[in-house]
A = this chain, B = another copy of it.
């Protein structure tokens, strides 16, 4: 069976033929025939060796954590052959299930208490077939099969926004304005989610017109903010104070600049993952902003089944023009090199193992 993997010591993915033709589902596991697997920034981080790691005692890692597939062998679980499903990403570690898995919240497990398929310590879904425990497979409608690899990234935002709303749930929060920092696929997907609940939405990028992401931003009814003209902390002066700031770039300074972009009672949501970087801040002023204006900052990583279910529902509300504009490349496994190129006009690339 074909799979796309990165080898130890290499820094680009390639097609491998794994020794066993098709994986065998164990107890409570389901065999899934892969349709599509998306590529995102985390894949690039993994390939470059900056994030995640190989499964123990293995010299390669099958990539892919944004997948959609069809149940090939339900193996006595509640699923049925032909069901379209999306797998979650975290699995129990070598040491077995722990309280986070028992609670259905592996997304809240600390490092060491999980592995991540296609990212850290476990093979991913970029293969003709994969197996997964039924509890980690979320059924999606057949009609959304072609887009459903996006359920995973959307689910990360569902969780993050859940945390944000909960942090504001002790009072009558009446948010109107939101800005997404970052016009990559996750930023654009989140923008599409936020426009349902916020009167006015903004999206920050650093691209010149004409640009397909700026077109998407504006077609979603949002305002494009060019970070080269307007720094994050200047957004209130240039536009308006934000009730919510969603950081999806991993640019380290955003975590602190966003406190200034927030209006009173606002919340900043952090999803990007920066490397170490020391810099100066006016920490006294920022600390005071938090207190006197009841501001909050929440970090969020990964997601669990309920977030995937919410994401499936969100996906169904997105217009086709938006999803079609987002997916700028559909590649066969043989085209893996091109698929991972990530050029200036690329937004979202996907490897297609079988047409949905």
Please give the residue numbers on chain A whose beta carbons come within 8 Å of chain B beta carbons, in ascending order: 99, 103, 105, 107-111, 159, 162-163, 166-172, 174, 250, 252-256, 263-265, 270-301
Contact = CB atoms under 8 A, between A and B. Distances in A.
Contact of A282 (B271, B278, B287): B278
B298 A273 contact: no
A303 to B, nearest CB: 11
B301 A291 contact: yes
A282 B291 contact: no
Contacts of A301: 291-294
Given A163-B167, A299-B294, A105 B172 contact: yes
B281 A279 contact: yes
Contacts of A299: 287, 289-296
A287 B255 contact: yes
A264 B300 CA distance: 11
Contacts of A159: 170
A171 B291 contact: no
A99 B176 CA distance: 15
B270 A277 contact: no
Contacts of A285: 276-277
Given A110-B264, A280-B281, A296-B298, 14 more contacts: A109-B264, A110-B263, A110-B293, A111-B264, A162-B170, A167-B167, A250-B287, A252-B284, A252-B288, A272-B291, A274-B284, A279-B281, A280-B280, A291-B300
Contacts of A290: 255, 270, 297-299
Most central of A174, A292, A297, A301 by chain B CB within 10 Å: A297
Given A275-B284, A291-B299, A299-B290, A171 B105 contact: yes
A52 to B, nearest CB: 12
Contacts of A169: 166, 169
B294 A284 contact: no
CB-based closest 10 A-B pairs: A290-B299, A277-B284, A110-B264, A252-B284, A167-B167, A255-B287, A291-B299, A274-B284, A296-B298, A276-B284
A288 B273 contact: yes
Contacts of A167: 163, 166-167, 296, 298
Contacts of A289: 299
Nearest to A302: B294
10 contacts: A110-B265, A166-B166, A169-B169, A255-B287, A270-B287, A278-B282, A279-B281, A280-B280, A290-B298, A296-B298
